[in-house]
Amino acid sequence: MLGSVFRETIWQRRLTLVWYVVGMGALVGVTVGVYPTVREGSDTITRMMENLPQGLLSMMGSTNIAELLSPAGFVNSRINASIGAVVLTTLAISIGTAAIAGEEDRKTMDLLLANPIPRIRIVLDRFAAMVILVGAVAAAVLLVMIVANPIVDLGFSLGDMVASNLELALLALVFGSLALAVGGVTGRRGTTIGIASGVTVASFFINGLAGLVSWLQAPQKVTPFYWLQRSDPLANGFSYADSLLMIAVIGVFVLIAAWGFEHRDVTM
């Protein structure tokens, strides 16, 4: 059974969770709500988008305009390929940073370690709280999609919607667990935020620009954004290979966090 560290983390983030659920739910609702207008004006929008730089289209998830204007392409361009992914990743990174490095930065780690709680338990409880919080936001996104799907006639299957939001949550957890790992090894909040945010931004732009810059195509293959988008789960369903890859990376980062925190001298 998960202990008090887990419950404390969830409790501390309860208001943050509400705002993220409302924000992401609103983002999906607006995105889905405007799609009928996009569908009706697809010819006009296509002509307009033909004048856009290919780089901008690539950052939306595809350089194929017809694909971007399809239900899956349009929703994906706003959720998995851009704003939604960035917002959920920001939540995960903030939780991962606060888990260890943030605690040390606030000079409260000594109070936590004064309790008879193994350090590995602290890491695992904080990670479990991250999973629950990120999962709750992804579940809210899924719920909005399920409700809006028949109303707007998007044609998504339940399996595709579940797959899309599950893999979106895994993407966020990759970067959140990276923040946890850096915090566990260094104990420095600024370093943790800098590395986790830097890797996230670099991954986003490398994946988005790889279609235009040939030398980015090799590093693109190791970016989590690429793992999420290459199978297009909202259109094609669950990708076991990409999901297992993200789970494996998350597991490695959690192990690094536990090892680093366990073997580091924590001085306040």
pLDDT (tens digit, 9 = 90+) per residue, 56-98?
Answer: 666 666 566 667 778 888 888 888 888 899 999 999 999 999 9
Tell me what pLDDT residue 90 has: 96
Tell me what pLDDT residue 15 has: 94
Tell me what pLDDT residue 34 has: 87
pLDDT-flagged residues of the chain (< 50): 1-2
Tell me what pLDDT residue 1 has: 40
Tell me what pLDDT residue 2 has: 44
- Which of 97, 99, 208, 75 is closest to 148 using CA atoms? 75
Give the mean pLDDT of the chain. Answer: 88
Tell me what pLDDT residue 61 has: 60
Tell me what pLDDT residue 35 has: 86
b/e map 211-248, b = 16+ CB within 10 Å: beeeebeeebeebbbbbbbebbbbbeeebeebbebbee
Tell me what pLDDT residue 104 has: 86
206's enclosing H/E stretch is helix 189-209
CA gap 33, 12 in Å, rounded: 33
